[in-house]
Each structure stands twice: as C-alpha cells, then as structure tokens.
Amino acid sequence: MKNAVRMMLALSLLLCSYSGSYSANKYSKEAVAEPDEFPVPKNIPGLLFYIQRDPNANTIIYHLNMDEQGRLSQKNPVDAFWMKYADGGEKKDLNYLQRKFAYGINSKAIGNATYELRSVAYSKLPLYLRKDSKNEYHVYANINKKECILSRVFIRIDGGTFWSPNVLYIELKGTETATGKTVVQRIKPV
C-alpha cells in the first residue's frame, strides 16, 4: 500500500510538471470536476489505461505499441501520448524528457506473452501486461487488494507549488477480474 501511495505521489509530481493549458473550461481549476466528469478517451486503438489530473482535462494515454505488421512490439509493448482535451482534443506525442523521466514505461518480457511494466517515474510498483481469455491484452494491477484490469488513474490536486503539489487523493479505477465489477480505490497521501 505504501508503495502504491509513493508511486502515485511520484506520478502526481510529474503530471503537475507538465506545462499544459490552464484554460478556463469545465475541466480547469476554476470549476473542479469529479473524476467521472472528465472526458473518457474513445476510439483509441489498443487503449490500455489513462491518467488524468487537475488542473485540466489533458490526459496521458497508454496504449499497445504495434509494429508495421500489426504485431505487438516486443521491445516496447506500451507507448504513451497526450490527448489534450483542454486544447481542443489534439493528440500530441510525449517529448523526450516526458518519456524518459516522467510518463514512460519500462517493460520486461517475463514469458508467455506477459510483460512486467514499471513507470520510469516510480519503478517499485509493477503492473502486468498480459492477454485475457479472449486473447486481448490488458494491464493488470492490484486495486483494493483485488486483481483488476486497470482503466484509469486520477490525481486530485489543490494548489501547492510546481515541484510540490498539494495532492488530496489518488484514485485508481479498474475492473475486478474475478467478478467483472468496477473497483475504485482512493488513496490519501500521508
């Protein structure tokens, strides 16, 4: 649990460091929206999960990285990009620093078409990319001590500074593999 809190705090610091638009819209600081009021990414091939946070609706999308032949890249199976909802829904690649130090994912093949994933920002909490019974890839995480398919991470921030935001909570959302029920866990930093 402490590792999960640390990972999410590290992610929140990195997410806040993005100098995205702070435009006044329904997803900006002026009108605080609940996590389920933020836009849900749609029609994104290979979508695995996404991260959203205050102060705007700009979203980091994690998706399957396919090669030219339509096969999963063995070297880098997960890739990320920005969906800049606060700026009209523009898709934008992560820059080098964001990929290498903030939002990138390191992967390691562990056999049987399964990969261990680790955030470049916080490598202590593993996620797992593997196929389900329908031969489709998902990212698995423990949410509320239940194995879940991770769908969203949301970080609620209220002020603070550029390097030290005031994180109110981190919310993980996924689908429990055993029951198919949605599982949500809010972690409050200590």
Q: What is the pLDDT of residues 35-56, one digit of tens each?
A: 888 999 999 999 999 999 887 8
Predicted pLDDT of residue 31: 58
Least confident of 50-54, 101-105, 116-120: 101-105
13's tokens: 């610091």
Least confident of 95-104, 108-117, 127-136: 95-104
Predicted pLDDT of residue 122: 61
pLDDT band at 19 (very low <50, low <70, confident <90, very high): very low
Q: What is the mean pLDDT of residues 85-95?
A: 91
Q: How far apart are the first and last CA of the chain?
A: 12
The domain of 173 spans 2-187
pLDDT band at 32 (very low <50, low <70, confident <90, very high): confident
pLDDT band at 102 (very low <50, low <70, confident <90, very high): confident
Predicted pLDDT of residue 97: 86
Residue 150: C-alpha distances to residues 25, 65, 91, 184 (Å): 28, 17, 22, 10
**Residue 16: is its pLDDT beyond 70?**
no
**DSSP-based three-state secondary structure for 33:** coil
Number of compact structural domains in the chain:
1
Rounded Cα gap, residues 153 and 66, in angstroms: 23
Token pair 């460091």 in the structure block, residue: 17
Calculate Rg over the CA atoms of the chain: 16
Residue 77: closest CA among 59, 63, 89, 88: 63
Rounded Cα gap, residues 103 and 94, in angstroms: 8
138's tokens: 């998902």
Assess contact for 108 and 115: CB atoms under 8 A.
yes
